[in-house]
Amino acid sequence: MNPNRYPAISRAKERDTTFLVVELLASSSEFRTWFFDQLVANPAEAQFLGVMRSVETHGRETDIRVEFDTDGTRHLALVENKLDAAFGERQISDYYQRTDQYVQEGRCDRATVVLLAPANRADAVTRDRFDHTITYEQIRDQLRKVPHDSTPFAEEVFRIALIQEGETDKSNLMATLTEQLKPVLQEIAPHLELEATENRIRIKSSDPEFPSIVWYEIRAKFSALGTIAPGIRVSTDDSNELRAIHQVLESQYDDLPLDSYRVELADNHRKKQGMVEWVLEVPGDPEAISDGQIQQVVNAMQTIIEHYHDSLRDVVSE
């Protein structure tokens, strides 16, 4: 597959790489042997027993669960795939709680927790919290050696995932957006404060009457194509708070004066990442984004804030 002529996908998501790892484990003995080599000694002697995606047990979800046997010892590997999302509260410790419960229930003899992530997400501190770490870079490189019909496609997906996570310089784009947003925010509300990184811009309110768990954010993602998405984010595990915020957003969504084909409302209150989001497709090279597209993003962010800010101020009792 020539990535310059036929990109497999415009942007990779965790679910894409998860599906591919599950498919390769289920269908490629060469990939399985390599994968098991990252977890146990003598991987060629491992007997593959099965793999499942999105396994919900004991109240939490495991991205990938792999079962195999080595010389009469039954293993479970619980794999957490992290492409761009942050770790949730107690997410890692809950994985280890599940491994203990699996062993106690006699489901397996040994259970381990594995991190699957790009190398820039798997620093030393993060690696120390897992039994094993397998990077996207390792998988990409291994796919080049595996004689399997799906490996060219899979390699392309992992290539795109790595580009969007670490190899695209967004700093000039973020600086330009920041420069144009600052005077706009000053006009909207004096309490709005802007925080910018090379990947995203967050706009938070210092108003004590505004819920601290809500903020506005612009995210930029690039691979074969790019997207810039201003929206409303929420950070809480309290279902009542999430539901209350979602109800406010939903009640005024039909009146939101933005292109209906670009803006989305999360279909339920639990989808706290991007409850409302407006998405603009842009070139895959940040330097190729036009001034007009930058202005579209700024206008969309301004519209979202002006439309919802007053209603959100008192939605959660602090």
pLDDT in tens, 70-125: 989 999 999 999 987 778 778 899 999 999 999 999 999 999 999 999 988 888 88
Tell which of 167, 185, 200 closes a domain.
167
Q: In what order do the strands lie in the sheet with 132-135?
A: 47-57, 60-70, 73-81, 110-117, 132-135
Q: Which residues make Cβ contacts (< 8 Å) with residue 209, sequence separation at least 6?
A: 313, 314
Measured in residues, the chain has a length of: 318
Return the percent helix, strand and coil in the chain, to nearest 5.
Answer: 40, 25, 35
Query: Where do the H-state alpha helices sit in the chain?
Result: 14-27, 29-37, 91-104, 124-127, 136-143, 151-162, 171-188, 239-251, 291-313
pLDDT in tens, 24-38: 999 999 999 999 999
Do residue 38 and residue 55 come from a single domain?
A: yes
Question: The whole model's pTM is what?
Answer: 0.57
87 secondary structure, DSSP code: P
Separation between Cα atoms, residue 201 and residue 153, nearest integer Å: 33
| Domain assignment of residue 84, given as a range | 14-167
pLDDT in tens, 110-152: 999 999 999 888 888 889 999 999 999 999 999 999 887 888 8
pLDDT in tens, 210-267: 998 999 999 988 766 788 999 999 988 788 888 999 999 999 999 999 999 999 998 8
Tell which of 167, 183, 209 closes a domain.
167
Unique residue bearing structure tokens 């770490």? 133
Do residue 132 and residue 249 come from a single domain?
A: no
Structural domains counted in the chain: 2
Do residue 288 and residue 186 come from a single domain?
A: yes
Do residue 106 and residue 118 come from a single domain?
A: yes
Tell which of 107, 138, 167 closes a domain.
167
C-alpha dihedral sign at 285, 16, 250, 90: negative
Do residue 179 and residue 161 come from a single domain?
A: no
